[in-house]
Amino acid sequence: MAPGETPEELARRYERERRRVQSQLEDSLDHGGTGFRIGSVPHLNAAPLTRGLDEHTRFLPPVQLAEALRRDELDAALVSVTEVLLHDRYDVLDGVAVASLGEVKSVFLAHRGPIEAIREVKCDATSLTSVMLLRVLLAERGLHPALHPLDPEGGGEPPDHLMLIGDAALRFLHAPHDHTIWDLGTAWLELTGLPFVYAVWALRRIPEQAALCRLLREARRFGLETLETLIAERTEFTPEFRRDYLGWHIHYHLGSDERRGLERFKDLLDKHGLGPVYPLRYLA
């Protein structure tokens, strides 16, 4: 504290310095993103991973994002994890993911009546990972209902059994409904005792990989350091829900437990004939 500086003045000086540092980091990310083609999904849960890179990021639904990456239109994309498990052409950025340990809120099966009686499920097909996770979880219970695409136009009475992901799932949760919610993050934890990884940064094998890895890690750090600001800036749902969802239900770390969860998912995909599945190559 400078001589004669009151606690209020100290707090204001600290806040000014904090904002200055954040502004410098944001400018650095914005400059660093130039020249890279980056893709992500337009969901609330991915927002902390592209903070500072929004101007350089192409936002697409998960399936379209994976298709763009396969066409080499992107250098890196935050894709559903099955894209890297089912296609042996990417490297995975270690340390960064969209994951949950238990209840995720935004990936679930909404059903009327007991799960064991389900014969057909309408699925949001924009995320192959969530469809595969649902298949695995049901197969482990000896259940093999038919899975059909959900009409993206919606309208009318929702079907008796539907799987939703992302912001559409969150909107369903916040709307009146008489369905029972089977949260797939909770179901995975109960089955395996491990986190589930929904999305990872998949990178094409280009000479500039190291610089791109540094940039994506810096974006994650910036997003988590400014999470309260991001929560205040976003408009989806309520601030309380955004804080609970982004700060508790979702986490953004890809560590040893998450890698074990990925290996378990890989094994179960193999077990239930949903492969071929390839080993993951991590970028340190």
Does pLDDT of 48 surpass 70? Answer: yes
User: Which residue(s) pair with 270 in the sheet?
Assistant: none
Residues 34 and 118 in one domain: no
Q: Tell me the C-alpha distance between 82 and 196, whole Å.
A: 12
Chain centroid to CA 86: 18
DSSP assignment of 196-213 equals EEEEEEEE---TTHHHHH
Confidence of residue 156 (pLDDT cuts 50, 70, 90): confident
Is residue 184 situated within a structural domain? yes
Tokens 């949001």 — which residue? 124
- Spell 157-190 as b/e; 16+ CB within 10 A means b: ebbbbbbbbbbbbbebbeeeeebebbbbbbbbbe
More confident residue, 180 or 15: 180
Measured CA distances, 216 to 74, 77, 82, 122, 159 (Å): 14, 10, 20, 35, 39
Residues 132 and 209 in one domain: no
Structure tokens at 150: 């959900």
**Residue 31: what pLDDT?**
53
State the CB neighbour count (10 A cutoff) for residue 17. 10
**Residue 151: what pLDDT?**
80
Residues 26 and 136 in one domain: no
3-state secondary structure of 183: strand
For the chain, what percent of residues have pLDDT higher than 90?
80
Is residue 270 situated within a structural domain? no
Is residue 226 situated within a structural domain? yes
**Residue 118: what pLDDT?**
95
Q: Tell me the C-alpha distance between 15 and 207, whole Å.
A: 40
Confidence of residue 33 (pLDDT cuts 50, 70, 90): low
198-235 residue pLDDT tens: 999 999 988 899 999 999 999 999 999 999 999 999 99
DSSP assignment of 106-119 equals SEEEEESS-GGG--
User: CA dihedral in degrees (27, 29, 34, 38; nearest 10)?
Assistant: -140
72-124 residue pLDDT tens: 999 999 999 999 999 999 999 999 999 999 999 999 999 999 999 999 999 98
Residues 90 and 11 in one domain: yes
Residues 94 and 204 in one domain: yes
Degrees to nearest 5, angle at CA 83 with 272 and 193: 55
DSSP code of 60?
-
- pTM of the predicted protein model: 0.87
Chain centroid to CA 148: 23
Averaged pLDDT score across all residues of the chain? 90
* Domain termination site, one of 140, 175, 192: 192
What range defines the domain where residue 147 resides?
A: 107-192
Q: Tell me the C-alpha distance between 131 and 274, whole Å.
A: 11
Tell me the backbone φ, ψ of residue 190, rounded to 5 degrees.
Answer: -65, -35
Among residues 213, 121, 216, 108, which one has the least CA distance to residue 164?
108
103-112 residue pLDDT tens: 999 999 999 9
Does pLDDT of 14 surpass 50? Answer: no
Q: How many domains does the chain have?
A: 2
User: CA dihedral in degrees (50, 55, 60, 62; nearest 10)?
Assistant: -20
Residues 94 and 147 in one domain: no
Residues 142 and 181 in one domain: yes
CATH of the domain at 183: 3.40.190.10
Does pLDDT of 266 surpass 70? Answer: yes
